[in-house]
Amino acid sequence: MERRQLTHEIASEELPAFALGALDAEDSAGMAEHLAECPFCREDLRQLDDVLGLLGTVVPQEAPSPGLRDRVLARVAAEAGVTRTADRPALRLLPRWAQAVLATAAALVLVLTGAVAMLLYGQWQIRRELDALRAEQGEIASILAQPAWWAPVTAEAGQGQPVVGRLYLQEGDTGVLVIDGLAPLVPGQVYQVWLIRADNTRVSAGVFTVDASQRATLIVTAPGTWTAYQGMGITIEPGPAGSPGPTGPRVAGCSLADWQSGGL
Amino acid sequence: MAREPSDQELMASLQRRDHQALALLYDRHARSVYSLALHILRDRAAAEDVTQEVFLQLWREPQRYLEERGPLGPWLLRVTRNRAIDLLRRSSRERWPARPDARGADLHVPDPSPGPDEHVWSVALATRVHEALGELSDAQRQVIELAYFRGLTQREMADALGLPLGTVKTRVRTALRRLAEILTRDGVWSDVS
């Protein structure tokens, strides 16, 4: 679908509503495209965002229950324990927070897919972390059950095995993409993740490569929130930064339609 | 007496996976984060869930904050607002189109009432922002309230208020621009950092 390009004047007029999240999905998509190209509007948006942060102070103040502090810090302490373990070959390129997420994702896959997950589990050699993972059951439960949602990422025809990974979404704008089964690329190429808006426009959500065992794990952050997107696709693009819009063949993807209608 | 570490220093410690730093940041900001979530969601359990997620995200992905720069407090409130509104929109779906509503009772600007343990930045700021909101017209405050605290789109506001979409768009634009102008004029940023 061809979309009318926003002029700078119109974009500038609609920027306050965009910052407030008060535009309809299609108008938001047009604005996101303009922002990608316009440094003036990006700076303008940054200043409006600052104002919106300040606006959050103007509410009656009330303290949360003391128990909440204990729960948050217990979770953090559990995660801190996990991430102190030594790096492993399959994980060493990931920052430590991503390793914690990966460990969580591994346990999630285990629950959901049985035998396949056992294989992953063994190959990642995280047996030493089993105890720590058990301590993290609350953590896993929150990503799984807290209006969390996941979908299998399926390969396009002719790309080998049909399921090449999973996408796990948390409430808001954050998700974890776990890839297991995309072929390693030649040097100079990367896989690029695209989030697909309701009107079929694409927004880049980052690039990645896979290791020799065809795996990768990355955090995917949606501009705005997940509800603005109907799907996710992966293409092969020139590295290291990828492309502004998809140019290479689509190799895999998944629908976010269920998430849009309310998720789990 | 030892100087209290700044938010920036605590964030640097957080990057080094010092979980004590998170405890200090929690003590400093949890009240304002929770209060905003509670004001939006009107549900203590849901507001605590959002608060927990905001601080866990800060722990897991501290670099997301550093990349964006600016003072931590307002940034946390933006993250909180987005999460809470997302939850509100999702949980409200079944009730629509009964919602959106534009009940008059929601449209006042609440007075900040900081407690004794509240971190100083949000107390000073709440007063300044409250005064700035007071310079807007009632109609301008109304659209900011509906969009920011209730998560309504311009189209939903037009339906709820029985106004043409163009009128709502103009109000939203002028309201937020005016608010930004007043806060900049009053040098509010020097209170934040």
What local confidence, expressed as pLDDT, does residue B101 receive?
A: 43
| Nearest chain B residue (CA) to A97 | B60
In the chain, the amino acid numbered A105 is A
Encode B70-88: b = buried (16+ Cβ within 10 Å), e = exposed. Answer: bbbbbbbbbbbbbbbbbbb
Are the Cβ atoms of A59 and B177 closer than 8 angstroms?
no
Average pLDDT, stretch A142-147?
A: 49
Span of A83-87, A133-137, A169-173, B9-13 with lowest mean pLDDT: A83-87
Q: In the structure encoding, which two tokens stand for residue A149, read together?
A: 């949602």
Cis peptide before A244 (omega within 30 of 0): no
Highest mean pLDDT among A87-91, A108-112, A246-250, B94-98: A246-250
pLDDT at A228: 84
Identify the residue whose tokens are 């007075």.
B111
Three state DSSP letters for B116-149: CCCCHHHHHHHHHHHHHHHCCCHHHHHHHHHHHC
Q: What local confidence, expressed as pLDDT, does residue A257 receive?
A: 78
The C-alpha atoms of residue A31 and residue B7 are separated, in whole angstroms, by 33
What was the pLDDT predicted at A112? 65
Average pLDDT, chain A: 77
For chain B, percent of residues with pLDDT exceeding 70: 78
- pLDDT score at B47: 96
* pLDDT more than 90, % of chain B: 54
Phi-psi region of A78 (alpha: psi -120 to 50; beta: other; left: phi over 0): alpha
Question: Is A126:A106 a contact under the CB 8 Å cutoff?
Answer: yes
Q: CA A55, A60, A62, A68: dihedral to nearest 10 degrees?
A: -40
Per-residue pLDDT at A32 exceeds 60: yes
Mean pLDDT of A197-220: 85
pLDDT of residue B109: 47
Whether residue A83 is predicted with pLDDT greater than 70 in this model: the reply is no
Distances (CA, A) of A187 to A101, A167, A236, A237, A238: 27, 26, 12, 11, 9
Q: What is the pLDDT of residue A124?
A: 56
Domain boundaries, chain B: 1-95, 100-193
- Radius of gyration (Cα) for chain A, nearest Å? 20
Size of interface A-B (CB pairs under 8 A): 206
Backbone conformation region of residue A220, classed left if phi is above 0, alpha if psi is from -120 to 50, else beta? beta
Structure-model confidence comparison of residues A141 and B30, the more confident one: B30
State the best of A58, A79, A102 to mutate against chain B, taking most chain B CBs within 10 Å: A58
Helices A8-19, A25-37: crossing angle, 10 deg rounding: 120
pLDDT the model gives residue A109: 59
Contact status of B118 with chain A (Cβ, < 8 Å): yes
Specify whether domain A147-260 bears CATH 3.30.460.80: no
B/e letters for B106-139, b = 16+ CB within 10 Å, e = fewer, are ebebbebebeeebbebbbbbbbbbeebbeebeee
CATH 3.40.50.150 corresponds to the domain B100-193: no
The predicted pLDDT at position A115 comes to: 59
Residue A209 confidence (pLDDT) above 70: yes
**Model pLDDT, residue B139:** 95
Q: Exposure string (b/e) for A159-197, b if CB count within 10 Å is 16 or more? A: beeeebbbbbbbbbbbbbbbbbbbeebeeebbbbbbbbb
For chain A, the domains span 8-55, 66-144, 147-260
Say yes or no to pLDDT of A198 above 60: yes
- pLDDT, residue A111, reads 65
- CB distance from B188 to chain A under 8 Å? yes
Sign of the dihedral through C-alpha A223, A224, A228, A230: positive
Give the integer Cα–Cα distance in Å for A75 and A63.
Answer: 20
pLDDT of residue B84 exceeding 80: yes
C-alpha closest to that of A150 among A128, A178, A183: A178
Residue A76 confidence (pLDDT): 87
Q: Does B90 touch chain A (CB under 8 A)?
A: yes
Rounded to the nearest integer, the mean pLDDT of chain B is: 83
For residue A206, list chain B residues with Cβ-Cβ distance below 8 A: none
B82–A147 CB contact, under 8 Å: no
pLDDT of residue A116: 56
Chain segment A227-236, per-residue pLDDT in tens: 888 899 999 9
User: B55 to chain A: nearest residue by CA?
Assistant: A72
Asked if B176 and A56 come within 8 Å (Cβ–Cβ), the reply is: no
Fold of the CATH domain B1-95: Rna Polymerase Sigma Factor; Chain: A (1.10.1740)
Rounded Cα–Cα distance for residues A206 and B86 (Å)? 23
Least confident segment among B37-41, B65-69, B103-107: B103-107
Question: Is residue A12 scored above 80 in pLDDT?
Answer: yes
Mean pLDDT of A1-27: 85
Q: Give the per-residue pLDDT at B105.
A: 36
Q: Which of these ranges, A112-126, A204-218, B22-36, B121-135, has the smallest mean pLDDT?
A: A112-126
Taking 60 as the threshold, does the pLDDT of residue B60 lie above it?
yes
Is the model more confident about A146 or about A229?
A: A229
Q: CA angle, B93 as apex, A60 and B141 as ends, to 5°? A: 40
Q: Look up tokens 């969601």; give the residue.
A: B41
At A214, the pLDDT band (50, 70, 90 cuts) reads confident
Closest Cβ opposite residue B126 in set A58, A79, A101: A58
